[in-house]
Amino acid sequence: MKIEQKRFEKQAYLFNVGEYFKSYEFLGCHSVNDQINMFSFTVWAPNAKQVQVISSAKDWKQPISMRKIGQTGIWTVETKDVHSGDLYKFQITDQQGNVFQKIDPYGFQFEKKPGNAAIVADNKQRKWHDQKWLKARSEKQVLNEPLNIYELHAGSWRRHKDDSYYTYAELADELIPYVKKHGYTHIELLPIMEHLLDASWGYQQMGYFAPTSRFGNLNQFLEFIDRCHQVNIGVIVDWVPGHFIKNYDSLYQFDGTPTFEYSERERAENKRWGSWNFDLGKNQVQSFLISSAMYWIDYCHLDGLRVDAVSNMLYLDYDEGKEGITNHLGDNRNLEGISFLQKLNTVIFAEHPDILMIAEESSAFPKVTAPVSSGGLGFNLKWNMGWMNDTLKFFEMDPLFRKDNFKLLTFAFMYMYDEQFVLPFSHDEVVHGKKSLMHKMPGDRYNQFANLRTMLAYQACFPGKKLNFMGSEWGQFLEWRDWSQLEWVDLKDDMNLKTQSYTTKLNELYRENESLWQQDFSPNGMNFTNTDDAESSTMTFIRQSEKSTDFIVCAFNFVPIERQKYRIGVPYSGEYELLLNTEDINYGGTWTKLEKEFHTKRIPFTGQSYSFTVTLPAMGALLIRPINLKEDINNER
């Protein structure tokens, strides 16, 4: 017992100084002794006058009193009066004698909405079958590998005919083969952590250690991840450490005082999202949040976290009505938030250097993906919101005006290597009246598909990892609705079906050609051959692998005017072959006969020693690679 007491004291100390990063092993509900059905309940409520456990086992009556451990602010009890599967909450009495019920911040499972009681269930280690995947992941340089993410909302990818949700098991049965078939490397789930409001898509979280009960229990969620890994599909989950659900029976004023949130209401309240901001400078909150991240990565075997709303954690004035707020240095940076993010990434990568920490950050804050040791935030990827906004704005535009707005495409060349970027066409761009990707495209239906194919090819060729939201792979016309499944009926239409085939082919080419991903974050991976021809609204560049003779020529025509005898400069002489023509009739275009081989001539062009000509399709793109280089290339480097 003395050993257990010392361990408890050490855990409590580390939690309180912000250095306990697996605090889920200590706080919450845990099985103490299976043979005699003993469970422990432990919670941090530093300013409470009394804390009790109430449960469905006693019809929410006969509360079980907990004892406070010294000055740690932590309350605990061991009891045989609850059983596995029972529901429970904490009943807290504040210093003024007010009594209220709260969730368990460390609950591993919750009852289905609208209820929010946690379920008595110990998170024992399961038997995994993904050792081969984890070993291979640990041996790879993750940023030098193909990364093509299928982003989805589990509640609206597919539903049953009665509009009920698919379970985790049903998602595994249908989603995993679908993602595999169509060539994606990873699945990214909109926040899967427990939440009550469907319309929040999961971004107003309640359970930071619990997958939502909408689709099944914890073990079923882990089985889903295990099955993904067994077929070499990675899993990323969106995670929200900046703010939490506003409900008063959740984390807000947990012990009757500001506990998880800032003590100043002005900083605590997030008016833009109707939530509460975590106090990121508080030691215990750091232990809580970093433990949450570690739980999903370590215990649940996730391959990465996409950290939502990083800008909200970087700036004091990011929210509505907070203009003019400054720190003690006189600027608008949230110094506690910056320090927290640096600490988070330092801790995660110290134990798991092979996973992805992806920042959704919409400002020009510097060094988001630079190492903490050099003053960066320490993420290894960042969503390129500027590229996404400019690219969509360009493609939404009538082609007649594109030549006068060509800088929408070329401006990204100025900062493309400032960070390690993901290029996202995400869920955020196809909701709230923004229209689907397909619906954004100008012209009649044929030209909308042609624009979409060209834009997706441009994304595949541009340096950076890739992300596309569900439905974009076949050009769904309706924008996303969280309350219903995708318009799968679209696939009865020939154009939608061909677009899906096109996306599958594009994903295959991306995955199989190192030049499209091996040097995403190095200037050596991009050769700007002809990128400023605004007048013709065409563009060519070369994507380069680490091997000098392994590259892909990428040529784009952003207007519906065919360019015959269009000259393309290349570094080496020889034969080149067509990889992809976006106007191939098999993908919804009009070309029934394709130019498949190209032979260079010693005609220097756009800084290159050789060149060849192509017919560049109207509103289309070509991907071309060398197959037989004739001269001594060692003398041409």
Catalytically annotated residues = 308, 360
Token digits for 553?
């020529």
Burial of 431 (0-12, 13-18, 19+ CB in 10 A): middle
**C-alpha dihedral over 151, 153, 156, 158, to 10 degrees?**
60
> Do 403 and 535 form a contact (C-beta atoms < 8 A)?
yes
Measured between alpha carbons, how far is residue 96 from residues 49, 73, 91, 200, 245 in Å?
Answer: 8, 17, 14, 34, 25
- For residue 386, how far is the Cα from the chain centroid? 17
Give 509-566 as a 3 state SS string: HHHHCHHHCCCCCCHHHEEEEEEEECCCCEEEEEEECCCCCCEEEEEEECCCCCEEEE
Q: What does the CA dihedral 26, 30, 32, 33 come to, rounded to 10 degrees?
A: -150
Beta strands per DSSP E along 360-503: 381-383, 421-425, 465-469
What does the alpha-carbon distance between residue 569 and residue 210 come to, in Å, rounded to a whole number? 55
Q: Give the Cα separation of 446 and 450 in Å (integer).
A: 6
Tokens encoding 620: 């289309």
Question: How far apart (Å, rounded) are the C-alpha atoms in residues 322 and 328?
Answer: 16
Which of 87, 84, 91, 47 lies closest to 66, judged by CA? 91
Three-class SS of residue 422? strand
Q: Which among 577, 536, 539 is positioned nearest to 559, based on CA atoms?
A: 536
C-alpha 498/C-alpha 491 separation (Å) is 9
Is-contact 306 236, C-beta < 8 A?
Answer: yes
Tell the residue number behind the tokens 């009556």, with chain if given.
61
**Residue 122: phi, psi to the nearest 5?**
-80, 135
Q: Tell me the C-alpha distance between 346 and 352, whole Å.
A: 10
Structure tokens that stand for 410 in this block: 């070329």
**519, amino acid identity:** Q
H/E element, 277: strand 275-277
- Contact assessment for residue 123 and residue 222, using Cβ atoms and an 8 Å cutoff: no
